[in-house]
Structure 1
Amino acid sequence: MGQSKPFRPTALIVEDDPMQREMLCVLLEECNYDVIQCESAEAAERVLAKTARSLALLMTDVQLAGRMNGVELARVAKHRNPALDVVVTSGRPLREPLPDGAKFWSKPWAALDVLREAEIAQGSASRAS
């Protein structure tokens, strides 16, 4: 008999700072996530168009390369997948409202916060599948 493949959630990381993006990716990969990383909201929007329903977690900075910011990206993501766990981060105060269900983290965030959020999103995604 065939064996089922264990569930591996997927996270989308959108951060224009390569060091922070890499740190998030490493932390999530340690939590058994498949990770897709983007530098801009426009690139992330293309990923969302294809995979929004299969994502468990989106983490994005507010300030990104390109014309769209992270709050706008969070709105697109929540529209495509209302159950998606969305975290928006910034080193500055947030100036516009987040979509319902999205969370805001001030920078610098702690690695432990990322690990906790990964567990929350993984639990929600595995219950939904």
Structure 2
Amino acid sequence: MRKMTHAAPLALVVDDDQATRAEAETLLGETDLDVITCASGEAAVEVLQRCGDDVVMLLSTATLKGEVGGHQLATAAGRLRPGIRVVVSTGTPETCRKRVPVQTVCTRRPWLPLDILAQAHAALREPQENPA
């Protein structure tokens, strides 16, 4: 296992809506996670490449604009950081589940704070298992 470079594990929040990013940052700031926010999937991939060992949770919307949408980001996150808890918010969780890796959590958008806090605490307890 590689060493952590941050004082606390990181949550990466990705949403093209600044208000949603700020809300998630405030909420997750109440946990033992430090928070990094990004407005695009491309920026999030760069963060995962740079400090992926420290990122234990990714919260993203499925409808990211740009070349790396939310579903693609979920797949990239699992590849770049095995064991990361990936949470994708969407208006259609049933459809989302068909487009992301099996360990991804799809939650309804707008997400409920308690749901996100539960995922944050799970991310801190133990990494998700990657199916063989």
TM-score over 0.5 (shorter chain): yes
Q: What 5-or-longer segments of structure 1 have no aligned partner?
A: 1-6
| Counterpart secondary structure, 1:67 | coil
**What is residue 4 of structure 1 aligned with on the other side?**
none
Give yes or no for the alignment of 1:111 onto 2:123. Answer: no
Q: What SS does the corresponding residue of 1:115 show, helix, strand or coil?
A: helix
Secondary structure in 1 aligned to 2:29?
A: helix
Query: How many residues matched?
Result: 119
Report the counterpart of residue 3 of structure 2 in structure 1: none
- TM superposition shift of 1:91: 2.1
Aligned residue identity for 1:47: V
Identity of aligned residues (%): 34
RMSD after superposition: 1.5
Give the distance between the partners of 1:51 and 1:100, measured in 2 at CA: 24
> Matches of 1:20 and 1:92 in 2, distance apart?
18
**1:43-54 correspondence runs (5 A):** 43-54=43-54
SS at match of 1:25: helix
- Residue aligning to 2:61: 61
Partner residue of 1:90?
90
TM-score by length of 1: 0.85
What is the CA deviation profile of residues 70-114 of structure 1, one whole-angstrom value per residue up to 9, with x for unaligned ones? Answer: 110011110011200000111245355211311101112111111
> What SS is found at the alignment partner of 2:72?
helix
Q: Structure 2 counterpart of 1:66, which letter?
A: G
Equivalent position of 2:101 in the other structure: 99
Partner of 2:42: 42
2:26 is matched with 26
Superposition deviation, residue 36 in structure 1? 0.6
What's the TM-score once normalised by structure 2's chain length? Answer: 0.83
Which residue is 2:122 aligned to? 120
Highest CA radius of gyration, 1 or 2? 1
Alpha-carbon shift at residue 32 of structure 1 (Å): 2.5
